[in-house]
Copies of this chain bind each other. A is one copy, B any other.
Amino acid sequence: MIYSQRFSAFRQKRNWEQFHKPKDLAISLSIEAGELLEIFQWKTDEEVVSLIASESKQRIQDEVADVAIVLLYLCHDLGIDLNSAVRSKLEKNETKYPVHKAYGNSKKYDEY
């Protein structure tokens, strides 16, 4: 998943760069995440399983892509190298959630 020339061309051609302020991209990310979540709303675990096996899979894929697209614009504009950001955050999470405390436990680190 990488930001390509196509991303820049897409918004440049539409003169949309004016809208893509970091705060608005962060808003957008939250809204897109909500649209993805909406697909799972009211569904039981069993229903999610059949959802994933149905034509809704395509809709999930599209919403997931929307989240990724906004994320890539935001990273590009803020000069964030997403690969290294992910790597460094994974490292932090490994420390924040030591195995002996986190094992089988869904609590947040500040509730240990």
Q: Which residues of B contact A86 (CB under 8 A)?
A: 1, 65, 68-69, 72
| Number of A positions contacting B (CB below 8 A) | 69
A85 touches which one: B34, B48, B64, B72 (CB < 8 A)?
A: B64
Q: Within A1-53, which residues are at the interface with B (CB < 8 Å)?
A: 1-2, 6-7, 10, 13-16, 18-19, 21-24, 26-43, 45, 48, 52
Q: Mark A91-112, 1 if CB is under 8 A from B, else 0.
A: 0111001010011111000000
**Interface residues, chain A, CB within 8 Å of chain B?**
1-2, 6-7, 10, 13-16, 18-19, 21-24, 26-43, 45, 48, 52, 57, 60-62, 64-69, 71-72, 74-75, 78, 80, 82-83, 85-86, 88-90, 92-94, 97, 99, 102-106
Instruction: Say how far A92's CB is from chain B's closest CB, in angstroms.
Output: 7
CB within 8 Å for A71 and B69 given contacts A23-B40, A42-B24, A83-B1: no
Q: B89 touching A62 by the CB < 8 A rule?
A: yes
Q: A38 touching B42 by the CB < 8 A rule?
A: no
Q: A27 touching B41 by the CB < 8 A rule?
A: yes
